Structure 1
Amino acid sequence: MLNKSVLTLALSAALVATLGVTSGCAVTRKQETVGAYVDDAALTTRVKAKFAADPTVSAMSISVETLKGTVQLSGFAKSTDEKQMAEKLARETSGVVAVRNDIAVRP
């Protein structure tokens, strides 16, 4: 099992890589600005870091996507408690405007 600090470090490295790749991308009409995209990527990383630090939530089984501050959760949870905790952690993350919880609970 991976150490929580290793997961947090890996998520931070992923954010830095994402910022490096996206900072040079052009944004076309009707898409969000580069700054908004970076803000959404940072929110996604903060939510995933909270999942990695929580013993109830599997950060590897739940996907997090963010658009204009709205976080969408998807993937699979082992229980209703895990699904609810993932939503709670996402809602408590600073900067999150709304959460859409599309996590399916595996029987």
Structure 2
Amino acid sequence: MKHTAATLALSGLLAFTAVGCAVTRDQSTVGEYVDDATVTTRVKAKFAEDPTVSAMSISVETLKGTVQLSGFAKSTAERNRAAEIARGTPGVKAVKNDIAVRP
């Protein structure tokens, strides 16, 4: 009986720890974390497909559906195109464009 109780307690602790580690940056659920990761991946993939945007020079982070773009663009047109792509991505609620133009 002791062994079973200890096993159950350890299993519960591990489950609680695993769920606690998955949620970061003030997100309220694991689902939000997964959704944000999916949005980030979609935006980065669209950047890689677009000949105007340098996917390697622009960082993408998503928190609760808000995408933050940072890094460097070679022109204002590239900066604007990156924001346009992000806004057109499913799951994006808002875009914060912090890309600096560095010719």
Q: What TM-score results when the alignment is normalised by the length of structure 2?
A: 0.76
- Which residue in the other structure is 1:89 paired with? 85
Q: 2:76 aligns with which of 66, 76, 80?
A: 80
After superposition, the C-alpha distances for 1:50-100 in whole angstroms (9 at most, x for unaligned) are 000000000000000000000000000000010000000000001100000
Corresponding residue SS for 2:91: coil
**C-alpha RMSD of matched pairs (Å):** 1.4
CA separation in 2, counterparts of 1:67 and 1:97?
10
Q: Which residue of 1 aligns with 2:67?
A: 71
3-state SS in 2 of match to 1:52: helix
Runs of 4+ residues over 4 Å off in structure 1: none
Task: State whether structure 2 residue 100 is matched by structure 1 residue 101.
Answer: no
- Percent of residue pairs bearing the same amino acid type: 76
The residue aligned with 1:60 is 56
Q: Distance in 1 between matches of 2:58 and 2:99?
A: 7
Count of residue pairs brought into register by the alignment: 83
- The one-letter amino acid of 1:75's match is G
Where in structure 2 are the equivalents of 1:31-70 lying within 5 Å? 31-70=27-66
Gaps of 5+ in 1: 1-23
Q: Distance in 2 between matches of 1:71 and 1:98?
A: 6
CA shift for structure 1 position 25? 4.5
Whichever of the two has the greater Rg, that structure is 2
Instruction: Return 5+ residue gaps in structure 2 as ranges.
Output: 1-17
